[in-house]
Amino acid sequence: MLIDILKRTLHEKGLYPFLMILFSWTYAFILLLSLLCELILYTTKVKYYNPDFQKKEDSKKQKHN
């Protein structure tokens, strides 16, 4: 079904519009997929342990105290 719609819209349009549509939809799909992954990680409270970041945060806390 999707292929038929693409064939009708791109009939005799050329290669450039086809590539433009293909890349833009692929990019949009990747962005939505990464956003979905970010939301899942955020809602499940997954944290990444980074020792350098922890050291910087500890030094900032010590300066404020």
The CA-based dihedral angle spanning residues 50, 52, 57, 62, taken in that order and rounded to the nearest 10 degrees: 140
Which tokens hold the place of 10? Answer: 């791109």
**Model pTM greater than 0.95?**
no
Domains in the chain, number: 1
Query: For residue 34, is pLDDT > 90?
Result: yes
- Per-residue pLDDT band at 7 (split at 50, 70, 90): confident
Of residues 59 and 65, more confidence is placed in 59
- pLDDT of res. 65: 67
Q: Would you state the structure tokens that stand for residue 30, as one six-digit string?
A: 């990747």
The rounded distance, in Å, linking the Cα atoms of 9 and 64 is 62
